[in-house]
Amino acid sequence: MNHRITDLSSCYSIADLRLLAKRRLPKGVFEFFDGGAEHENTLRANEAAFAQVRWRPHTLRDVSQVSLESSLFGSPLGLPMGIGPTGGLGFGHPGADLALAKAAASHGIPYTLSSSATTSIEDIAKHAPGRLWFQAYILKDQDHFWSMIERARAAHFEALVITVDLPVGGKRERDFHNHFAIPFRLTPKNMLDMAQHPLWLLRHWQHGFPTLVNLEGSKSANPINRDAFKKLASTVGRSYDAAFDVQRLAEVRQRWRGKLIVKGILRPDDALQIARLGVDAIVVSNHGGRQLDGAIASLHALPSIVQAVGQTLPVWLDGGIRRGADVAAALAVGASGVLLGRASLYGSVSAAESGAQRALDILAEEFKRTLQLCGAKNVQELTSDLIELNA
């Protein structure tokens, strides 16, 4: 379909918001958000898994009143969704992290702040009114790792999210070709790219170029050298600790007394091992196709993990969510909820809070419509008999 997407009023889907972001952002910045690892097979597989879903809907049911509400950790959710951790949003639009957090609060869903966000832990806690989670990347600089966790505790974040699927950074080749690295470094190639997007450039000139404020001061976050773009390693992952293991995760569980969520699980045996540590939830995830290319699609990994641990703790999913029907499919397969990545990101980096609100409104409306068309009055009625997966 060839639609001319010029502003939010012409966006009726997440795909439209993606096109708006592509139009408004420099190519290198857009592809940092949009791209995956290597051939991007897993990136495509996540979406393809949902495209293969087939519904067997109930009919002749009264669905004039439908509830979209759910719950997690004993507290209500406006939707069975949360905002997953997405780093560097300020490179797309100044204040995009906070904009997304505010949009999440207005829909009654949690917001997860990434370690590599461009807004600080304290500023999010001060200005965002909703349920806040903090995602701590496993850094080589353990003092800084624990310092970030202590800051999240002091700021009263509800949950800590530990992402375990990146002992090293994935090989994200679009970033190499576009000369995109963090910390950002100007080259003739990306300067020409930015010059073709004057409104984006004006915003960043007015607000200042973003930094990864929560990582400032870390001994792991060394500046890139002038040969960085020639190296076959992602600049995003050079600070990660490849030695982090289950014993270290147990230490996190011991020291963090709030809710603990482990993200990046694709195997039921790993899920069982983590559940024994007393974590509070698991997120089935392949990092949006940005880490191991060729990894199984999140939706296809979900059923065996739900079967292994779903009776003992909530199992959430991320990866490939682009429609409200995708949310419904994940719940029908057994997920307790989903984390949104690119689906909410595209709105926030293209149009700040109004774009983030638009993304969540679209997903909520599509989710409601899917329930009604399947004859389900609430999320509890999204059962496995409604769906077939063609893996």
Catalytic residue among 197, 204, 287, 300: 287
**Tokens matching residue 125:** 């806690």
Q: Which residue has the tokens 């917001």?
A: 111
Task: At 188, list the tokens.
Answer: 């003739």
Which phi and psi (to 5°) does residue 70 adopt?
Answer: -145, -165
204 labelled catalytic: no
Q: Whole-angstrom Cα distance, residue 340 to residue 343?
A: 6
CB atoms within 10 A of CB 277: 16
Cα(59)–Cα(379) distance, rounded to whole angstroms?
Answer: 17
Q: What is the DSSP string of 299-325?
A: HHHHHHHHHHHTTTS-EEE-SS--SHH
- Concatenating the DSSP letter of every residue in 91-137 gives GTSTTHHHHHHHHHHHTT--EEEETT-SS-HHHHHHH--S-EEEEEP
Nearest-10 crossing angle of helices 298-309, 41-51: 70
Q: How far is CA 146 from CA 78, 140, 214, 255, 283, in A?
A: 32, 11, 12, 9, 22
Q: Which residues in the chain belong to E strands, given as ranges?
A: 54-55, 70-72, 75-77, 81-83, 111-114, 132-136, 159-163, 259-265, 281-284, 315-317, 337-340, 387-388
Residues 6 or more apart in contact with residue 209 via CB below 8 angstroms = 184
Adjacent-strand bridge partners of 162 = 136, 262
Catalytic machinery residues: 287
